[in-house]
Amino acid sequence: MDSFRMVLIPHCGGCGTDVPAAAVGQLPVTSRLLDPSVHRRLEADGWHIKPGSRGINKGIIDPIGGDSLTCPACVAVHQAAAETATARLTADLSRPRVKILGMADRLGDGWTLTQRDGDVGCHRWLVEREGTVRGQVRRYKRRTSQTYSPGWEAFTLGGTHWFRRDAIHSCQHTPGSSFLWSGRDVAAWGVAFAPGHDSPRPEWSRRAPRIPKASG
């Protein structure tokens, strides 16, 4: 009886194209981690390689720790998509501002909240520093609802993606819910400074202590 042997031919994670045999040398390989010389050879041919983790590589059946490979055709597709996304976002973010709020007293010099046409109706503000968009905050509205929540969502801009920044404990809209911030400016503060989860509210957002009225 023939013995069964698992083999792996390294291939593009996007389209499945096998790497050229000349690059890998002796096929089949028995590890998800390719030799550095193979990396160099493939990269010279236009492949993109995200190296796997040596620590968690368990051999050919480990789908997580292995190298992930992208062929030149898929690399070109990804690049074109990224360029399109960047151009679209840049155009969107450079639309003229209809409202600019200086935030120097709360966030520091150079910080502003701005709105473009269309932002006003949906309570959305871009968080900018020296004219560079760092994130956005907006009043939350359920997809199915007509009304806006008093709570605010915060997003940090990274590349062409908006990453949600959950409210830190002291600034939550409702206790125990990390989803929404209690106000626009603390949400913008969260975008600007990425405070740790146990940070106190910024000084300017704390309620002034109630002074009991003198009676009589």
Judged by CB under 5 A, does residue 113 bind Zn ion? no
Judged by CB under 5 A, does residue 71 bind Zn ion? yes
Region binding Zn ion by CB under 5 A among candidate stretches 16-24, 34-42, 102-110, 160-168: 16-24
Q: Which of 29, 42, 74, 168 binds Zn ion (CB under 5 A)?
A: 74
In sequence order, the 6+-apart residues with CB closer than 8 A to the CB of 173 are 149, 150, 151, 152, 167, 179, 180, 181, 182
> Closest distance between Zn ion and the C-beta of residue 80, in Å?
14
Judged by CB under 5 A, does residue 15 bind Zn ion? yes
CB closer to Zn ion out of 14 and 195: 14
| Listed residue (156, 116, 111) closest to 135, CA to CA | 156
CB closer to Zn ion out of 77 and 89: 77
Binding-site size for Zn ion (CB under 5 A) equals: 6
CB closer to Zn ion out of 60 and 75: 75
CB 61 within 8 A of CB 6: yes
CB closer to Zn ion out of 73 and 100: 73
Residues near Zn ion, by CB under 5 A: 12, 14-15, 17, 71, 74
